[in-house]
Amino acid sequence: MKINPYQPDQSGMAYSVGTTLDRFIKSKQSDFPFASGELSQLLRDIALAAKIVNRETNRAGLANIGGAFGQTNVQGEEQQKLDVIANIRFIRALSKGGEVCAIVSEEEDAVIDLHNTSGKYVVAIDPLDGSSNIDVNISIGTIFSIYRRITPAGSPIQMEDVMQPGSKQVAAGYVLYGSSTMLVYTTGFGVNGFTYESSLGEFFLSHPNIQAPKDGDIYSINEGSEFEWNKGVQDYIRLCKEKGYSARYIGSLVADFHRNLLKGGIYIYPPTQKNPNGKLRLLYEANALAFLAEQAGALATDGKQNILSILPESLHQRTPLIIGSEKMVQTAMKYFAEEKL
């Protein structure tokens, strides 16, 4: 009987095409000194919740779970039913997973203390960002940050455990529920993207080692607020138009960020009359995307300082956000530096 010895694919494609998220997480566990697998398990718990939310999102139109929930969240924003479902699903997955001691969620006024004093990690999460797009079938997303707790294991959690600057994140990522569902995350060793194959119930590595283009010609900003911008923002956006850049603004941060990350571009949410400190939240939106951006060779600032260096003062505090390709953010900062953003 002739036996052909297996010749692994030398192109490397075999590694990138058939690698499940589980296998990838396991293969990367050795990146962490003294890794005992808790962070790996936590990432799996997030992926599980993402699969469940993905299923709910895909059938929202048919299962009468689209539309408003009839309540408003701590932000004063009308909660969409899927917001509430996503919040419940992620909290339940993180609680059952056993690795988390506290959760900060956009949908919850206060810190969720899981009373799991052996849990080493804190998660800050926007369970479903851009949910006002649900009813019109536009991409929406989940954004998450992961921190190690600061106070000693075995003791009750403290506010200092959840009020950490973005520079202390041990992992961060997003799930994009779009034409395909993707999970993109970093643990500080680069950014990798996984695409969900629902027939197999698996995320497969589809975008290994994402590196953002250093420059771009796409700008994302709500032009409807133009007359509320300060001069620095107006001057920069005028420059984008003079250069013939493309305006792309979906109204869903994760979708705009993901496109700009892959193609090159800049997303700006500046102070406006309605949101004088910007609209996006530091703890569970800006910090996670800023960590990913920097890991992919891009930049994220509030117009004055690096997002990751901001010391949080409140759970749901907002921040201006300028995030995207390195050269575009650097140019924008020159315009903003001429005055207080």
Q: Using CB under 6 A, list all residues that contact ligand P6P.
A: 129-130, 132, 222, 251-253, 256, 279-280
- Yes or no: say if 135 and 115 are a contact pair by the CB < 8 Å rule: no
Which residue's CB is nearer to ligand P6P, number 170 or number 221?
Answer: 221
Per the CB < 8 A criterion, the answer to whether 214 and 310 are in contact is no
> What's the rounded Cα separation, in Å, for the pair 325 and 296?
9
As measured in angstroms, the least distance from the Cβ of 228 to ligand P6P is 11
Rounded to 5 degrees, φ, ψ at 140 are: -130, 175
Nearest distance in Å: CB 279, ligand P6P: 5
Taking the complex as a whole, how short is the minimal distance between the CB of residue 100 and ligand P6P, in angstroms? 24
Considering beta carbons, is residue 132 or 195 the nearer one to ligand P6P?
132
Least distance CB 226 / ligand P6P (angstroms):
12
Cα–Cα dist 132/89, whole Å: 19
Nearer to ligand P6P, 143 or 205 (CB): 143
Q: Which is nearer to ligand P6P, 252 or 325 (CB)?
A: 252
In the bound state with ligand P6P, the residue whose beta carbon lies nearer, of 48 and 124, is 124
Collapsing DSSP to helix, strand or coil, 128 comes out as: strand
Q: Are 307 and 166 in contact (CB under 8 A)?
A: yes
Q: Which is nearer to ligand P6P, 116 or 132 (CB)?
A: 132
Residue number with CB closer to ligand P6P (22 or 108): 108
Nearest distance, CB of residue 88 and ligand P6P, angstroms: 20
Q: What share of the chain is helix, strand, coil (3-state, %, to 5)?
A: 35, 25, 40
The C-alpha atoms of residue 91 and residue 130 are separated, in whole angstroms, by: 19
Dihedral of CA atoms 200, 189, 28, 186 in degrees, nearest 10, equals -30
Would strands 112-113 and 100-105 be described as parallel, antiparallel, or unpaired? antiparallel
Instruction: Give the tokens for residue 65.
Output: 């779970």
CB 100 within 8 A of CB 121: yes
Minimum distance from residue 277 beta carbon to ligand P6P (Å): 13
How is residue 168 annotated by DSSP? Answer: G
Residue 25 neighbours by CB distance under 10 Å: 21
| Residue 208: CB minimum distance to ligand P6P, A | 26
